[in-house]
Amino acid sequence: MVESKRAGYDPVAKSLHWLVLALLIAQFTFGWTMPHIGRTVPSSALIDWHVWLGVTILLVALMRLLWRLTHSEPELEAGIPLWQTTTARIIHWLLYVLLFALPILGWMNASWRGMPVTILGVLELPKLLSTRTPGWAWTGDVHAIIADYVLLPLVGLHVAAALYHYLVRRDGVLQRMLPGALP
């Protein structure tokens, strides 16, 4: 692991963080506006974009995790309570888990439905399940429930905590991840 005493995250970590946010905003937009995927729903551009963004989020999350595992976090200022740093770490790792679990569940569901999973409509990825494999119909429902009722609230909690540190504590926690802030 690369050791560092810097005050902020490095430009790669910041770029990957904000790229994931932009992708999630787009993903939720497509997810909420696309037609409900039922047994007879024909493919549409919104569904295709939702699938492509899911694959992209999975790839960016993998890059982000690899970067995180090989580069240390910047040190926090003194005085941040242990419960806050522990909670932040738990939330961050839960977000990583969800950034992998949700695209994989979506990929499983697309495979189960017989829908191709591609990267920008060019490179088709292998199916994770055979079409209509018995016992796997639940993947789409669990994908949607976890996205709306677990991921979204955790992202909201993450944003609320960052704003709390910026507006109330004024301790520089948010500035560590802001674009343009010095590492």
Q: What is the pLDDT of residues 171-180, one digit of tens each?
A: 889 999 998 7
Q: What is the pLDDT of residue 1?
A: 40
Burial pattern 49-70, b for ≥16 Cβ within 10 A else e, equals bbbbbbbbbbebbeebeebbee
- Reported as a pLDDT band with limits 50, 70 and 90, residue 16 is very high
Give the whole-number percent of the chain exceeding pLDDT 70. 92
Tell me how far CA of residue 127 lies from CA of 80, 118, 131, in angstroms: 46, 10, 9
Q: What is the pLDDT of residue 92?
A: 96
Instruction: Give the mean model confidence (pLDDT) for residues 35-47.
Output: 70
Nearest by Cα to 150 from 139, 158, 161, 138: 158
> Helix H segments across the chain?
11-33, 45-70, 82-113, 138-146, 152-164
Answer yes or no: are the C-beta atoms of 183 and 9 closer than 8 Å. Answer: yes
Residue type, 114: G
| Average pLDDT of the residues of the chain | 89
Burial pattern 132-158, b for ≥16 Cβ within 10 A else e, equals eeeebeebbeebbeebeeebeeebeeb
Answer yes or no: are the C-beta atoms of 117 and 124 closer than 8 Å. Answer: yes
* Pairwise pLDDT comparison (92 vs 32), residue with the higher score: 92
Answer yes or no: are the C-beta atoms of 147 and 155 closer than 8 Å. Answer: no
Q: What is the pLDDT of residues 96-128, one digit of tens each?
A: 999 999 999 999 999 999 988 988 778 999 999
pTM exceeding the 0.85 threshold for the entire prediction: yes
- Reported as a pLDDT band with limits 50, 70 and 90, residue 6 is low
Instruction: Give the mean model confidence (pLDDT) for residues 157-166.
Output: 95
User: What residue ranges do the domains of the chain occupy?
Assistant: 11-176
